[in-house]
Amino acid sequence: MRGMDIELKDVSIRFGDFTAVYPTNLKVNAGEFFSILGPSGCGKTTILRMVSGFSNPTSGEILIGGQSMAGIGPDKRPTALIFQSLALFPLMTVRENVAFGLEMRGMARGPRNDKAQELLDLVALGDQGEKIPDELSGGQRQRVAIARALAVEPAVLLLDEPLSALDLKLRQHMRSELRDIQRKTGVTFIYITHDQGEALTMSDRIAVMKAGVIEQVGTTDQVYNEPSTAFAATFVGANNMFKGKITKTSKGEAEIETKYGLLRGTNPQNLSTGSEAILFVRPEKTLVLSGKEKAENTIDVTYERRDLEGAFVNLHFQREDNKFTVHQTNVDLKSFDKGDQCTIGFDARAAMILPDGELADE
Amino acid sequence: MNSLRSSFGPVLSLVIMGLVGVWVVGMIIGPQLIMVEQSLWNKEIGGEAAQISTRIDRLYNEVDTLAFDKSDAEALDESTDRTEKIAAITAEIDTRKSTITELEATEVKPIKVYSFRNYTLMGASHFFIFLKTIAAAVAVTVIAFVVCYPIAFAVAKVATPGKAAMIMLFLIIPYSINELLRIFAWLMILDNNGVANLILGWFGFESIPFLGSGSGVFIAMVYAYILFMVFPIYNTVETLDGSQIEAARDMGASTWQIHRKIVIPHAKPGIAVGCIMTFMLSAGSFAVPNIMTRGIAEPWFTQLIYNKFFESSNWNTGSAYAFTLVIACIVFIFMMMRFFGVGIKDIAK
């Protein structure tokens, strides 16, 4: 099995007056694990349905492996879709489910059962072939859906939030399994999710999408460390935010005038003096300063509470209506009482100043 | 029982249980048992006894005639002649009455003889009508399925919710009209001078005797019971997850394969219920054949049953006929359930 590349050229889709996807250009490389990350209703599933052939773009063109897909139905495309509901056939056995696509292609019973067995072995369900889907656990059903989709040897596998119905432990386990299967088969994966953790752990590259527009495309590191918009910065991972106006710029850095004084941060987009901007700093790059410690930027805050997550804790601070989080590993924790006056701070290199814009809803 | 009590309370659940009991025993089991019992016996009278009862009948008739003569005589003017006449007639009546009393004393009561004889009384022509009725009911069921499955699928899975509601409304409206009126409408359409033949006439065709040939019953019956096929199928297809259809298509299934492998297996219980209802209604329909044949075409089996009961007053043979039809219907139900591989539980769903 070999993956194919996918290219969207000015693809847009409208349903009546509603534009679900604005003209979009996107290139997914062959054999890549590519995620489209965005809140529900942002149009990510619509893109997937256009690639799979269940919806037709209002304008633009979709190419798979360099071939235009215009006028080609879902049954004729080199893609296979894994539905959010999985859509396993409940009246067929697991083996019949996996062999379904081969049966539809007219493969004889013997070879198609052999092939189905091969795929069930791949997803570690070799001995579950005679059960019906309802007798399997959530994670097993998940793997049946993957095996069934892979049976037709697609060049591109499209996954529509397939892990959303699983519990947390299983979800984390399935992440690595999906990644393994993708590596083993070399098929191009396009993975739709609203869970940034999933996108970051599994993907080679991520597209961050908001309201029908792709805001940023990049590797996982790029998207996390160098978000290009305020939305991307707040949707992927958490951030402490300081809104203000740029007062001074110099050599990749800038100074921003906020309610809590002047703060310095990097200026990756070379915003000019006077522009409305937001300074973002990740909770793990924010420090709680004791008397001796120093940082380039400091803010006086009140301690609220802490959330213990096990290996790490999130400390929550407040000043007026603004909330700030500091992320610390669970080693030598300082303890505070509610209402303690503290100072938090960060270096300019740890912070990023981006143009003001819409934020992701909490 | 416990769950009934926990949801309705003791009083209401007793009432419910009582009503259900009355319904099951009084309206299903009871009448059915009485009918079966009726179908299993005959009144048998020996040769001499038959003669006696004929004589008794004749004597009763003569007494009645004499009573008329007597009242005629009483209307005459008062005279000796009149008095003699009345006396003579009264004497005659009295002799006959005493003979009747004598004879009745010797009369043997007819005895109930239990046997399967009633079931063997069906002649070749009636048996042919029975087979024809069953075959026609099967054909009505098949046609109803062929017509209704695409409609039910389209409404459940293809149409937008607004359009689906519209289609449903238009399907239901004709059925809110009285069944007799709907059948009469078909009578007007299919009559020899009806709308259908009028239109055929415009195109130069000779008129077709729809009613006389018996096809009228068939057409009207398809129309009368078709909706009982739509709703059960619609209800089951509606519960099918649409992404299963898409998944099948995505894996290369053709439209035919999608229906054969995905939709129909899922809709089986609904299809079975639809087929059973349509079959039972058409096999047991009385109004449709009664109006549409009107004596000019061969009757349906239900009409034969009616005639046995109310025209030949032979309840025993009538019961045997009726029970034969019940058996045929039950056999059909089990065949359907077997054919579709569905159990009672699936149907109840």
Work out the widest C-alpha separation in chain B, in whole angstroms: 113
Q: Tell me, yes or no, whether A362 lies in a domain.
A: no
| DSSP states along A214-265 | EEEEEEHHHHHHS-SSHHHHHHSS--EEEEEEEEEEETTEEEEEETTEEEEE
Which of the listed residues A190, A212, A230 is the one where a domain comes to its end? A230
pTM score, whole prediction: 0.76
CA-CA-CA-CA torsion for A236, A188, B250, B341, nearest 10 degrees? -90
Residue of chain B whose Cα is closest to the Cα of A76: B252
Q: Tell me, yes or no, whether A158 lies in a domain.
A: yes
Q: Tell me, yes or no, whether A360 lies in a domain.
A: no
Give the rounded percent of residues in chain B with a pLDDT score beyond 90: 27
Q: Do B243 and A75 touch (CB under 8 A)?
A: no
Q: Tell me, yes or no, whether A267 lies in a domain.
A: yes
Q: Tell me, yes or no, whether A153 lies in a domain.
A: yes
Q: What is the mean pLDDT of residues A42-58?
A: 91
A-B Cβ pairs (cutoff 8 Å, strict)? 58
Distance from CA of B268 to the nearest CA of A (A): 11
- CA count, 13 A, side-chain hemisphere, B87: 6
Tell me which residue in A54, A81, A101 faces B252 most closely, judged by beta carbons.
A101
Distance from CA of B16 to the nearest CA of A (A): 36
Whether residues A153 and A238 fall in one domain = no
**Cβ of B172: how many Cβ atoms within 10 Å?**
12
Whether residues A55 and A85 fall in one domain = yes
Which of the listed residues A214, A230, A246 is the one where a domain comes to its end? A230
pLDDT recorded at residue A42: 87
Residue A259 above 90 pLDDT? Answer: no
pLDDT recorded at residue B108: 65
- Give burial (CB, 10 Å; 0-12/13-18/19+) of A192: buried
Q: Which of B160, B249, B251, B254 to mutate to test the interface with A (most CBs of A within 10 A)?
A: B251
Q: What is the pLDDT of residues B115-164, one digit of tens each?
A: 888 888 778 888 899 999 999 999 999 999 999 999 999 999 888 888 88
Count up the domains in chain A and report the number: 2
Residue of chain B whose Cα is closest to the Cα of A85: B243
CA distances from A260 to A186, A257, B78 (A): 51, 8, 139
pLDDT recorded at residue A58: 92
Whether residues A242 and A190 fall in one domain = no
Whether residues A133 and A256 fall in one domain = no
Q: From edge to edge, which strands make up the β-sheet containing A79-82?
A: A79-82, A156-160, A188-193, A33-37, A205-210, A213-219
Q: What is the pLDDT of residues B204-214, one digit of tens each?
A: 888 888 888 88
Q: A73 and chain B: CB distance < 8 Å anywhere?
A: yes
Contact A150, A80 (CB under 8 A): yes
Residue A28 is part of a domain; what is its CATH number? 3.40.50.300
Q: Which of A104, A159, A161 to mutate to test the interface with B (most CBs of B within 10 A)?
A: A104
Residue B88 β-bridge partners: none
Q: Tell me, yes or no, whether A287 lies in a domain.
A: yes
Q: Which of B243, B245, B249, B250 to mutate to test the interface with A (most CBs of A within 10 A)?
A: B250
Q: B251 and chain A: CB distance < 8 Å anywhere?
A: yes
Whether residues A75 and A15 fall in one domain = yes
Residue of chain B whose Cα is closest to the Cα of A96: B261
Tell me which residue in B241, B252, B261 faces A75 most closely, judged by beta carbons.
B252
Distance from CA of B265 to the nearest CA of A (A): 8
Q: Tell me, yes or no, whether A1 lies in a domain.
A: no
* Residue in B275, B148, B131, B297 with CA at minimum distance from that of residue B216: B297
* Residue in B141, B140, B142, B145 with CA at minimum distance from that of residue B259: B145
| DSSP states along A262-310 | EEEEE-TT-PPTT-EEEEEE-GGG-EEE-SS---SEEEEEEEEEEEE-S
Q: How far apart are CA A53 and CA A49, in angstroms?
A: 6
Q: How far apart are CA A262 and CA A279, in angstroms?
A: 11
The pair of structure tokens assigned to A186 is 């070399």
Per CB-CB distance under 8 Å, the chain B contacts of A91 are: 265-266
Q: Tell me, yes or no, whether A361 lies in a domain.
A: no
Residue B45 above 70 pLDDT? Answer: no
Whether residues A154 and A178 fall in one domain = yes
Residue B94 above 60 pLDDT? Answer: yes
Q: What is the pLDDT of residues A272-287, one digit of tens each?
A: 888 889 999 999 998 8
Residue B42: band (very low, low, confident or very high) from pLDDT cuts 50, 70, 90: confident
* Residue in A250, A256, A251 with CA at minimum distance from that of residue A274: A256
Residue of chain A whose Cα is closest to the Cα of B257: A104
Whether residues A207 and A309 fall in one domain = no
Contacts of B122 (CB under 8 A, 6+ apart): B130, B320, B321, B324
pLDDT recorded at residue A123: 83
* Residue in A219, A217, A157 with CA at minimum distance from that of residue A189: A157
Q: What is the pLDDT of residues A76-101, one digit of tens each?
A: 899 999 998 889 999 999 999 999 99
Per CB-CB distance under 8 Å, the chain B contacts of A105 are: 252
Question: Which 166-205 residues of chain A touch chain B by CB within 8 A?
Answer: none
pLDDT recorded at residue B349: 61
pLDDT recorded at residue B139: 93
Whether residues A154 and A281 fall in one domain = no
Residue A135: band (very low, low, confident or very high) from pLDDT cuts 50, 70, 90: very high
Whether residues A45 and A90 fall in one domain = yes
Q: How far apart are CA B42 and CA B317, in angstroms?
A: 9
Per CB-CB distance under 8 Å, the chain A contacts of B264 are: none
Domain coverage including residue A337: 231-355
Residue B29 above 80 pLDDT? Answer: yes
Residue of chain B whose Cα is closest to the Cα of A55: B246
Residue A180 above 80 pLDDT? Answer: yes
Whether residues A115 and A242 fall in one domain = no
Q: What is the pLDDT of residues B73-82, one digit of tens each?
A: 888 777 778 8
Which of the listed residues A186, A213, A230 is the one where a domain comes to its end? A230
Contact A299, A317 (CB under 8 A): no
Residue A248 is part of a domain; what is its CATH number? 2.40.50.140
Residue A190: band (very low, low, confident or very high) from pLDDT cuts 50, 70, 90: very high
pLDDT recorded at residue B51: 79
Whether residues A247 and A332 fall in one domain = yes
pLDDT recorded at residue A89: 93
Q: How far apart are CA B245 and CA B263, in angstroms?
A: 8
Whether residues A149 and A75 fall in one domain = yes
Q: Do A75 and B266 touch (CB under 8 A)?
A: no
